[in-house]
């Protein structure tokens, strides 16, 4: 959040680059003074197409869990008010994530994406039930990720997305290299095999899903 001006400058410098605004859970305790109103104000910029990423990370636990939850709820409120999708970071926090999503959805629905999904089936199912999307990164292609591929197979086709999480998590056969957007084709190929569609069908499917969720991104940005 405190680096937002730098991020926005990159988006403004490139026609087909967009950004989100928010505080990562690792920094939640440093930015508890960030308000919903401030997020909503910054999200009004035409280049800002999402809120976040925000959420819960109990793997690294770099911020107190109470601070992570407080910040996460603030971002949920901003997503609800703006109608922009909330990019959710969830790691080793499935039970608390489900509980917060269910409680907050009860106050009013909001669009969201379970970003770089590496959690369990229960969170994927809860996310879909609450109207969310599930996005898979290069982890989906790893040899030891069969459980994740099994989860992907159960997600409704209209809720599936693929992503890079660049510069991390380069997919097979690029594993170990610095990840980049072009590598997402390898993740999409494995997703296609997993759900029984062709590469072209999966590309069309995930593209449509993206524009349905990220409604602020103009269609011609895909060119």
> Per-residue pLDDT tens for 116-152?
999 999 999 999 999 999 999 999 999 999 999 999 9
At 1 the pLDDT is 73
Please name each of the domains of the chain with its CATH number: 4-218 (3.20.20.140)
Q: What pTM value is reported for the model?
A: 0.96
Q: Could you tell me which of 207, 211, 169 has the C-alpha nearest to residue 186?
A: 169
Question: Vertex 80, ends 92 and 108: CA angle to 5°?
Answer: 90
Kindly tell me if the per-residue pLDDT of 15 is higher than 90.
yes
Distance CA 191, CA 68 (A): 31
| β partners of residue 57 | 91
Region 48-61: mean pLDDT is 98
Phi, psi at residue 28, to the nearest 5°? -55, -45
The span from the CA of 110 to the CA of 131, in Å, is 8
């Amino acid at each position: 959040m405190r680096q937002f001006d730098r991020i926005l400058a990159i988006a403004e410098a490139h026609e087909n680059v967009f950004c989100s605004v928010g505080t990562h859970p690792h920094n939640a305790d440093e930015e508890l003074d960030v308000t919903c109103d401030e997020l909503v104000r910054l999200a009004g910029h035409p280049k800002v197409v999402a809120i976040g990423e925000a959420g819960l990370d109990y793997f690294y636990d770099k911020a107190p869990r109470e601070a992570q939850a407080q910040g996460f709820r603030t971002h949920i409120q901003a997503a609800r008010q703006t109608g922009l999708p909330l990019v959710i970071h969830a790691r080793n926090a499935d039970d608390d994530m489900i509980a917060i999503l269910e409680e907050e959805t009860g106050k009013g629905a909001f669009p969201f994406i379970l970003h770089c999904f590496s959690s369990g089936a229960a969170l994927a199912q809860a996310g879909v039930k609450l109207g969310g999307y599930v996005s898979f990164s290069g982890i989906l292609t790893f040899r030891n990720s069969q459980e994740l591929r099994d989860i992907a197979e159960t997600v409704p086709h209209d809720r599936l997305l693929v992503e890079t999480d660049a510069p991390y998590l380069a997919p097979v056969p690029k594993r170990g290299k610095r990840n980049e957007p072009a590598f997402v084709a390898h993740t999409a190929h494995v997703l296609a095999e997993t759900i029984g569609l062709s590469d072209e069908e999966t590309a069309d499917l995930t593209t449509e899903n993206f524009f349905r969720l990220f409604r602020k991104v103009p269609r011609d940005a895909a060119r």
